[in-house]
Structure 1
């Protein structure tokens, strides 16, 4: 029996797709109202459009009565789990673990270096044709705390290795030992925060991490420390962060915010000591080849009835 697979990339551009399914292209369109490419009821595997609003991503789900797998092209799946109430039991949700490690780790290091070395100020001075040297902190000899030590957190440490940091402190939901050293459990985070000069957030958004970076968390950070968020906006209490930024005690570099997109006039835009990028951690030339490799591998497994990779949950389980 023939079944459909919906892809947000043109199937004719993806080399190595297995034979069997009928591949249909659907990425939601620029306005989110693109017509469906076929009957959603015939779709067995739905690859969620990338960099679209949550309502666009979940729009077809109610009509996908024959759905067996939802595959995201993001590491985080919080925007999809919010729409799973319309999905029948037994559907597997898979994330794109590994696809964004390179791009997100690159951006995390970019944000750290740009913030520490004062690059935003130099850009503004260039616009004013103003030449003034300043003495800024280096990343070398700093202690860096990574909160959320999964694939992306590990990739961030890969890139820190050449910057002569004094120490990398690793924190994840549960503790473990790696070849690089200890990964501390979240329960130890309050005691570790005062040690860090730079705190990088790369944790998924869960009930446990939502609002984790609150007033108490920020108060434990040392004076002058830098907070970098390449995770999800709601991991951070925006109001609490604004107070610390406005006091000048902390600085921040944020690829994600809460709310998001950050609306015009929001005080975070003009808060002192903050660098903001518009959720572009995974949006680089590194995305496409890694996404295509994931899709080919995952679809080959699906067609051959082999275990899928990166299964986050099964609906109704």
Structure 2
């Protein structure tokens, strides 16, 4: 008689622990990702690559806007880390209440330092040396010779002294500025000198030839650059914004530009994108770039490095870095 083996076979968990990682960069293009996780590619397309409920680590699509980036969050009931590829995370804050308790929202501190600091310096030099007018002269085949201000011997005030603000000062060093002053939300000492609190702005603005905005957009900094701020800037000073458009009161800035008292170089605006017909496009003394501080050839290698580092910590059960907020 044939025997029957009634011993149970290996048990299969019908509900295995979720281990999906959603990446906006194809995972096969990122070397050195830790094993033990299931990587899927999603860059804000209409269809999800997998069940959002299985996602434990969500890297937000880059420069796709708030709506598509927030869309899967209510379905990600097991997500533990939401990682942006931007330094600012204000577009993801509305999703914090939709995240499970304990889930962490992380920014990309350090990722855009080199690229954004390069653009800040580009905007300063181009504005001071009159490059926009020279380009218009080239288009018109006109030789617009003239005397232009230099960055040398100018006083620069950096408002927002995180990693990007520090990177901007590093690139200013060879240009023989007369002075670089630093402002941040909290005072501290650095190897380059003291960082003063926001309360010191009123005293520093009248002496600055160039004011660079590199601060995050928060409740405290929203509308920071209003009529009072601008009125304290010296005649002929240059305002450079590579942070967020909402830091500046656009109407107050327009009034100063149209009077000819101030100039501006803006990589970000409010509203953004700046619509056709908006008076800021043709205001005198303004140079506008379309929020291109981060998108450059420097982005991808640094984004991959950040994801490798964060995922290695996550896979190893270690605390991830750059945590800005934790869901209740």
Q: Tell me the TM-score range normalised by the shorter chain.
A: over 0.9
Segments of structure 2 that go 5 or more residues without pairing to the other structure are 1-16
Q: Confirm whether residue 23 of structure 1 aligns to residue 39 of structure 2.
A: yes
Shift of 1:174: 1.0
Aligned to 1:14: 30
The aligned length equals 312
SS at match of 1:282: coil
- In 2, Cα distance between equivalents of 1:198 and 1:273: 14
Query: For the Cα contact (< 8 Å) 1:116–1:138, is it kept in 2?
Result: yes
Aligned to 1:37: 49
Segments of structure 1 that go 5 or more residues without pairing to the other structure are none
Shift of 1:159: 0.2
Instruction: Output aligned runs, 1:37-186, within 5 Å.
Output: 37-186=49-198
Shift of 1:88: 2.2
Which sits farther off after the overlay, 80-89 or 233-242? Answer: 80-89
- In 1, Cα distance between equivalents of 2:287 and 2:33: 41
SS at match of 1:213: coil
Q: Give the number of the structure whose alpha-carbon radius of gyration is greater.
A: 2
- In 2, Cα distance between equivalents of 1:63 and 1:308: 22
- In 1, Cα distance between equivalents of 2:97 and 2:123: 37
Query: For the Cα contact (< 8 Å) 1:2–1:20, is it kept in 2?
Result: no
SS at match of 2:40: strand
Deviations 1:119-154 (A, max 9, x none): 000111111111120111000000000000010000
Query: For the Cα contact (< 8 Å) 1:149–1:183, is it kept in 2?
Result: yes
Shift of 1:180: 0.8
What is the root-mean-square deviation in Å for CA atoms of aligned residues? Answer: 0.7
Q: 1:225 aligns with which of 233, 237, 247?
A: 237
Query: For the Cα contact (< 8 Å) 1:226–1:253, is it kept in 2?
Result: yes
> Structure 1 runs of 4+ off > 6 angstroms?
none
Shift of 1:89: 1.9
Deviations 1:232-291 (A, max 9, x none): 000000000000000000000000000011111111111110000011100110011111
Query: For the Cα contact (< 8 Å) 2:18–2:55, is it kept in 1?
Result: no
Q: Confirm whether residue 276 of structure 1 aligns to residue 288 of structure 2.
A: yes
Aligned to 1:197: 209
SS at match of 2:183: strand
